[in-house]
Amino acid sequence: MTFALASLAEALNTPAPWLTPYVPAARAVLAARSDSVADALNAASGDDIRFVEQAALPEGEAYESFIARTGCVPTRDNLHDLFNGLVWLSYPKTKRRLNLLHAGEIMARGSVAGARGPLRDAMTLFDENAAILQAPSVFVDALRSRNWHALFVERRAQWASAHLALFGHALLEKLMQPRKAITAHVWLVDELSDDAIAASLTLSRLATKDFLPLPVLGVPDWWSANERPSFYDDADVFRRPR
């Protein structure tokens, strides 16, 4: 078993709250007992998407274009790509929508593999670091104004009515070694489902970089240290608006 798969297996012994949406897919992947991340992901996937070794990506072809053209995701034997695969298995419609937007932008701009631009940067930011939030308006207002005390202390008990899922695979990878400063880019939705998240991904909204910063380890019940109200006094992490 690779280091990535072994690390995931260890994490599932006592899954952190942010891993909860991925536990079913992760258990299916680990059940394959494969020495390859790509093969392990394939054992848990359907016919819509396949995972291939990184060497399958032709030189000079953009990663996103290759996925759109072949339905195959180049995958390395590391945690970053393992979490990317778990997100594909858990939110396939959203990942497919994001990939098609990427590929369409590449085609429209005549981009080569290394060229990007503001819109593709926003798509990548979503793919790598997004957290999806469905919450009452009072939560959203506090988040927009960065009123951390209201969000995490005054309304702490009301977090039971909010729904937060981490989507970015780089974000999930970083949380394998939790640090207080880890911050997600929150994307607001009316419903926390694969269909609803995919539908929310429009070029016009992505172009505005409609994200809100959230230090994810401040979420109640996500880290024991945040049980103390003083946890949120750290202005280097819980920053006030400029």
Looking at residue 115, what is its pLDDT?
Answer: 62
Looking at residue 214, what is its pLDDT?
Answer: 97
pLDDT tens for the chain, 242 residues: list them.
889 999 999 999 999 999 999 999 999 999 999 999 999 999 999 878 999 999 999 998 999 999 999 999 999 999 999 999 999 999 999 999 999 999 999 988 765 555 678 899 999 999 999 999 999 999 999 999 999 999 999 999 999 999 999 999 999 999 999 999 999 999 999 999 999 999 999 999 999 999 999 999 999 999 999 999 999 999 999 998 87
Looking at residue 108, what is its pLDDT?
Answer: 84
The ranges assigned to domains in the chain are 3-113, 126-233
Q: What is the 3-state secondary structure (H, E, C) of the chain?
A: CCHHHHHHHHHCCCCCHHHHHHHHHHHHHHHCCCCCHHHHHHHHCCCCCEEEEHHHCCCCCCHHHHHHHHCEEEECCCHHHHHHHHHHHHCHHHHHHHHHHHHHHHHHHCCCCCCCCHHHHHHHHHHHHEEEEECCHHHHHHHHCCCHHHHHHHCHHHHHHCEEEECCHHHHHHCCCCCCCCEEEEEECCCCCHHHHHHHCCHHHHHCCCCEEEEHHHCCCCCHHHHCHHHHHCCCCCCCCC
